Amino acid sequence: MNNKKIAVIGLGYVGLPLASLCAVKDYQVVGFESNQKIVDILSCGKSHIIDIKVEALLSKANDSGNFHPTANNEKLADCVAYLICVPTPINSNNDPDIKPLISALDVIAPYINKDDLIVVESTVFPGTCDDIVLPYLEEKTGKKVGVDFQLAHCPERVNPGDDFWTTENIPRVVGATTQKGVKAAADLYVSILGGDLFDVRDIRKSLRPKISIADTKSGYEISQPPLGSVTMMRSIRDAEAVKAMENTVRDVNIAFVNELAKISDVLNLDVVDVIDGMSTKPFGKGPFFPGAGVGGHCIAVDPEWLKDAAKRAGYMPEIIQLARNTNNGMPEYAISLLQDALNEKALPIKGTRITVLGVAYKKNVDDARESPFFEIHNVLKKKGAELSVYDSWISKENTSDTLEETLKGSKAIFIVTDHDDCINQLKNMDLANLGIKVVVDGRNCLDSESLTAQGILYRGVGRR
C-alpha cells in the first residue's frame, strides 16, 4: 500500500506524529487540519507541539517530501485511507462531545470512494463507530460500510513526554465492522509500525508461567507484546473498549492510591516509600502514584465516555464515578495540605505570596488540558493568596521569565507539575535563603529530608 495517498484528519498530539510517521514510511500524506494557524506553522517546516520526539519525526517527514499539511479539503481527493485524529472532549456537564468527530466525517464524506479505509483513531466510547459513525457515513455518502468502504477503529495510545513509548513503537489494537476491514486496517498499521501481527485470540496463548522459585503455581502474566505490534480485535466495539477501559483502569487505580495517600497522612506514613516497597513484589500491575489531581485529555476524560455509554445502556458504574470524584477532589485536598502547613508557620493564605509551579497536566509536556493547575490557581486566588506562576514548558500563565525571579517574595511553593528541568533547578536552589517556609509537593518529587533540614515545612500528598 506504500506510496499510496492517505489522509490524517487533525494534526494535534496524536495526528501530527502519526502523519509524520506515515510520510516517513513512504505514504503520500495529506495532513488535514482545520486550524489554519497550525497549518501555517507546519507549512514552514516547524512543529506547533513542543516534544523532541515529535519534532524529530516531523523533520524526517519534511525531508521525505511526503507530508502535505493543509486546511483545504479538496486535497483529500483520491486518498485511499482516512485516519481521524480529532479531539473527543467532554462538555461542562462531563458528557461526551462528539461534534469534532462529526465535523471530521463531514469533511471526508464527499471523498470516500470504493474500497477506501476509514479509521477512527480518536478515543470514543464503545458503540460509537457502530451506532453513530457508521449510520452517519452511510447516510452522507449513500455507500455501504463493509461493502463499498471499510470502517475501523485503532485507538491511539501514545504517551506524550514518554522517551520510550512513542507513535513509532507503541503496540496497537484494531477492530472493524468486517473481517475484510480489520485485515485492511491491520495491514496498514503493520506497514507503518513494522511490528508483528496478532489475533486477540492468540494473545492468551502467549500466557507464560511466572518464574517463581518459592511457588511455581503462583500465577501467570501476559508477556509484553513486541514493539510496534498490531493486535486484531474481534469487533470494532472491543477495540473501542480496550482504550476506554485501559484508561479507566488507570483512573481507578490512581483514585485508589490517592485514598492510600490520605490514609498515609492520618497514619503518619510515607506513601511513596510504601508504594516503592509494594512494587518489589514481583507480580501484579503498577505502581501508581498519588498526586494533586489528574488531568490531560485521556485519563480525566475517557472514563466519562465509558460511564456515559454504560449509563445509557442501563448500568451506572459506581466505582468509575467514585474514582472520578476522588481524583477530581485531589486539588482541593492538596490545597488543604497547603492551608494546614501555612497555619503551622503562622501564615494566612490571604496576602501570602505562593508560587504555583507547573501548569501542564503532567511533566515534560506542553499540554494543559484538564490540568489541576486551573482549579488550584482559582481556589488560591479566591482565598486571597498573592500568586506567582512558573511553568518551563508553557509560558502563557507565567508571572516572570525565570524560576528564580518567580520565587522572589514567595513564602510557599505549590508543585502542580514536576517538569524535570524545573525540579532539577529547584533542587539546586537555597530555598530557605530565598524565604521559602512551606513546600507542598503535589507530585511527591522532592526529598523531604533535605527541605526539612533547611527548616522548610514539607508536605507531599501522603508523605511528610
Ligand X SMILES: NC(=O)c1ccc[n+]([C@@H]2O[C@H](COP(=O)([O-])OP(=O)(O)OC[C@H]3O[C@@H](n4cnc5c(N)ncnc54)[C@H](O)[C@@H]3O)[C@@H](O)[C@H]2O)c1
Catalytic residues: 243, 298
* 248 makes contact with ligand X (CB under 6 A): no
Tell me if 435 sits within 8 A of 454, measured CB to CB: no
* 359 makes contact with ligand X (CB under 6 A): no
Which residues ranging from 310 to 349 are in contact with ligand X (CB under 6 A)? none
CB-nearer residue toward ligand X: 88 or 448: 88
* 12 makes contact with ligand X (CB under 6 A): yes
Q: Determine which residue in the list 34, 94, 178, 339 makes contact with ligand X, applying CB under 6 A.
A: 34
Q: Determine which residue in the list 81, 298, 342, 385 makes contact with ligand X, applying CB under 6 A.
A: 298
* 32 makes contact with ligand X (CB under 6 A): yes
Which residues ranging from 115 to 144 are in contact with ligand X (CB under 6 A)? 122-123
- Kindly indicate which of the ranges 29-37, 312-320, 382-390, 431-439 contains the residues binding ligand X, using the contact rule CB under 6 A: 29-37
- Kindly indicate which of the ranges 3-11, 349-357, 381-389, 407-415 contains the residues binding ligand X, using the contact rule CB under 6 A: 3-11
* 160 makes contact with ligand X (CB under 6 A): yes
* 109 makes contact with ligand X (CB under 6 A): no
- Kindly indicate which of the ranges 156-164, 224-232, 233-241, 388-396 contains the residues binding ligand X, using the contact rule CB under 6 A: 156-164
Q: Write the DSSP symbol of residue 354.
A: E
Q: Determine which residue in the list 17, 20, 23, 33 makes contact with ligand X, applying CB under 6 A.
A: 33
* 394 makes contact with ligand X (CB under 6 A): no
Separation CA 16–CA 353 (nearest Å): 40
Cell of 341: 502547613
* Partners of 232 in beta bridges: 174, 199
* 107 makes contact with ligand X (CB under 6 A): yes
Which residues ranging from 59 to 88 are in contact with ligand X (CB under 6 A)? 85-88
* 9 makes contact with ligand X (CB under 6 A): yes
Q: Determine which residue in the list 13, 189, 361, 414 makes contact with ligand X, applying CB under 6 A.
A: 13
- Kindly indicate which of the ranges 12-20, 53-61, 426-434, 455-463 contains the residues binding ligand X, using the contact rule CB under 6 A: 12-20
DSSP string, 266-334: HHT--HHHHHHHHTTSSSSS------S---SSSTTTHHHHHHHHHHHTT---HHHHHHHHHHHTHHHHH
Q: Which amino acid is at 101?
A: L
Long-range contacts of the stretch 103-109 (C-beta < 8 A, 24+): 103/34, 104/9, 104/10, 105/133, 105/136, 105/137, 105/140, 106/140, 107/9, 107/32, 107/34, 107/73, 107/76, 108/7, 108/9, 108/76, 108/82, 108/84, 109/137, 109/140, 109/141
> Nearest-CA neighbor of 330 among 390, 381, 257, 399?
257
Separation CA 241–CA 236 (nearest Å): 9
Closest residue by beta carbon to ligand X: 12
* Site residues, ligand X (CB under 6 A): 9-15, 32-35, 38, 85-88, 100, 103-104, 107, 122-123, 156-158, 160, 297-298
